Amino acid sequence: MMDFINRIELTAHGQEIAQRLIDTRNRELALILDLSEEQLIGPPNPTVEPPIWELGHVGWFQDRWILQNIDKREPSDPKADLLYHSFNVANDARWHLSYPSLGQTVEYITDILDKVISRLAKREPTVEEVYYYNLVLNHEEMHSETMHHIRHTLSYPAPKFTLDSPRPLIDEGYALEKIAIPGGVYRLGGLPEQVFIFDNEKWAHPVEVAPFLISSTPVTFGQYQAFVNAGGYQERSFWCAEGWGWLENSGQDGPTYWKRGPEGGWRWRWFDRWRPIEDNLPMVNVNWYEANAYCRWADCRLPSEAEWELAASAALLPEGQGIDTQKKWYPWGNQHPSESQANLNSRYGQIVDVRAFPEGDSAFGLRQMIGNVWEWTADTFDAFPGYVIDPYDTYSKPSFGQQKVLRGGSWVTRPHVVRNSYRNFYTPDRNNIFAGFRTAHTIHAEK
């Protein structure tokens, strides 16, 4: 593909977009091309999609928003809507459709990508085009994360391109503690100067945040194991009514990918391998109900969205004069994530010790607020004040009021997707995503 763009005369901006499109597509293909014909469909599962559907869908999305929307072309395949239109093709129907072969699917999406890149030749992309190119890039980058979920959920092997990277250095002196965050008026949400954000992040607006404590890292395997061993999955008082209903229906007596080892201790499944518990890894693959139950057991709570974003993006003014209103795009500043700041992009092939990546600390000293595991917050996903729907009208609005917000990104999140203001969202029962959580406490004023 790089040879292809080298034969096209592109502006510097066009070259940057083309290279990202190719890099993103190569990642998607690397996650799928090693699967067998049987694995490309897989067993029906309500929480994932067939991998072959995923592959066709990302090409369909590019065709829909670039070639059809901007250029007013006819669909590249007139039957594609019947297969890949995510809002109109129900999840449970996707397992029973007749898909083109893997080779035909690759040919379909590659032809679309060639056209999407070729239309940038010899000219600077317009503002409108840049928006839609960023939309399709973010979409496909999010679906590469979804492909990791699928492989993990279905017990497929871990992607081969993630297996050989060494683990990062661990800051063994870093304390797992509660950090005090001062209250004040804070602007929650995305900023107009950011290159691309989704409609649900728009726009930064003032919220009043009371002083609070927040854990310096996500809850660890060791901390969560204490909850499990204390009978947390058997004690109803720790669970909200909906959560207890979910737990009874699931039949679980512990986290979904845990089982007792031969000597009685817990082990956990990572893709197709069973591993011993490592205390300082972040707890992962827990849903909102589980995170909330742990907090009740530990006499704490989940942080709100505003608390989480304030802790990630704000700083103190000199001499304790309040919160700096110049919020940062990332915990460390406005610079694009580097490999030394966050566990992103599948670089290490796994979650890592919560004490790693000191260069990515927030101004308050919180670690790994970006990368490693997504973090559940207390809030239900909803619109910010003055919400205006973007052209991709089925992305945010259909989920308002029904799902819970996660922040921060995971070990497989692509760096261009994530930022302090990014709002991920899933139903509270979803425990096959790479999600954990950190805890918070309200600071009560002295009487």
CATH number of the domain bearing residue 422: 3.90.1580.10
pLDDT over threshold 70, residue 4: no
CATH number of the domain that 46 lies in? 1.20.120
pLDDT over threshold 70, residue 163: no
Same domain, 258 and 145: no
How many structural domains is the chain composed of?
Answer: 2
Provide the angle, in degrees to the nearest 10, between the axes of the packed helices 127-153 and 51-62. 180
Same domain, 187 and 325: yes
Measure the CA–CA gap between 414 and 202, rounded to whole angstroms: 21
Could you tell me which of 412, 388, 403, 442 has the C-alpha nearest to residue 198?
388
Report yes or no on 388 lying in a domain.
Answer: yes
DSSP symbols for 94-128: GGGS-PPPHHHHHHHHHHHHHHHHHTTTTSPPPHH
Out of 156, 177, 194, a domain closes at 156
Same domain, 57 and 151: yes
Measure the CA–CA gap between 111 and 59, rounded to whole angstroms: 9
Out of 156, 190, 221, a domain closes at 156
Mean of the pLDDT values across residues 2-6?
62
Q: Angle at Cα 362 formed by Cα 367 and Cα 425, nearest 5°?
A: 75
pLDDT over threshold 70, residue 446: no
Give the tens place of pLDDT for each residue, 24-49.
Answer: 999 999 999 999 999 999 999 999 99
Same domain, 254 and 305: yes
Q: Give the model's pLDDT for residue 228.
A: 97
Report yes or no on 338 lying in a domain.
Answer: yes
Structural domain containing residue 6: 2-156
Measure the CA–CA gap between 420 and 312, rounded to whole angstroms: 6
Same domain, 380 and 317: yes
Same domain, 350 and 289: yes
- For residue 203, cis peptide bond before it (omega within 30 degrees of 0): yes
Same domain, 53 and 84: yes
pLDDT over threshold 70, residue 445: no
Same domain, 123 and 214: no
Residue 438's Cβ-side half-sphere holds a number of Cα atoms within 13 Å equal to 32
pTM summary value? 0.96
Report yes or no on 229 lying in a domain.
Answer: yes
Which residue carries 């992009």 as its tokens? 345
Average pLDDT, the chain: 94
Measure the CA–CA gap between 224 and 68, rounded to whole angstroms: 49
Report yes or no on 337 lying in a domain.
Answer: yes
Give the tens place of pLDDT for each residue, 307-351.
Answer: 999 999 998 777 666 788 789 999 999 999 999 999 999 999 999
Q: Give the model's pLDDT for residue 447.
A: 43
Same domain, 151 and 172: no
Q: Give the model's pLDDT for residue 160.
A: 85
* 369 phi/psi in degrees, rounded to 5: -75, -20
Which residue carries 């004690």 as its tokens? 235
pLDDT over threshold 70, residue 5: no
Same domain, 55 and 80: yes
Q: Give the model's pLDDT for residue 164.
A: 58
Helix (H) or strand (E) holding 58: helix 51-62
Q: Which residue has the higher pLDDT, 446 or 183?
A: 183
Report yes or no on 163 lying in a domain.
Answer: no
Mean of the pLDDT values across residues 390-401?
97
Helix (H) or strand (E) holding 374: strand 374-380
Query: Could you tell me if 300 and 219 are in contact, meaning their C-beta atoms sit under 8 angstroms apart?
Result: no
What six digits make up the tokens of 3? 């040879």
Report yes or no on 392 lying in a domain.
Answer: yes
Q: Give the model's pLDDT for residue 1.
A: 53
Q: Give the model's pLDDT for residue 326.
A: 84
Same domain, 151 and 247: no
Report yes or no on 89 lying in a domain.
Answer: yes
Report yes or no on 161 lying in a domain.
Answer: no
pLDDT over threshold 80, residue 207: yes
Same domain, 108 and 134: yes
Out of 156, 184, 218, a domain closes at 156
Measure the CA–CA gap between 135 and 138, rounded to whole angstroms: 5
pLDDT over threshold 90, residue 405: yes
368, with CB counted inside 10 A (0-12, 13-18, 19+), is buried
